[in-house]
Amino acid sequence: MLLEEQVKTALENVRPSLQADGGDVEFVSLDGDGTVSVKLTGACGDCPMAQMTLKMGIENYLKKELPQVTAVVGI
């Protein structure tokens, strides 16, 4: 399975907890260096804690599940 597909599958595992708080995450792209770009939407889009959710939640999870992922950035 391609890394991009693995990232999308892993993001599906994160979505329910974001959706429980009225937010969501959308996959945008995967760079050659392993950087995943995502867009936080809904309540997550303008939440003051969004950056922490992105780094401490989504990035940590993706790095643990997929060691090829080097970073997660929000756009």
The pLDDT tens digits for 8-31 are 999 999 999 999 989 999 999 999
**CB count in 10 Å sphere of residue 18:** 20
Nearest to 57 by CA among 4, 22, 10: 10
The pLDDT tens digits for 26-51 are 999 999 999 999 999 999 888 888 88
**CB count in 10 Å sphere of residue 6:** 16
Domain that holds residue 19: 3-74
Question: Tell me, what CATH number does 14's domain have?
Answer: 3.30.300.130
pTM for the whole structure: 0.91
Q: How many domains does the structure of the chain reveal?
A: 1
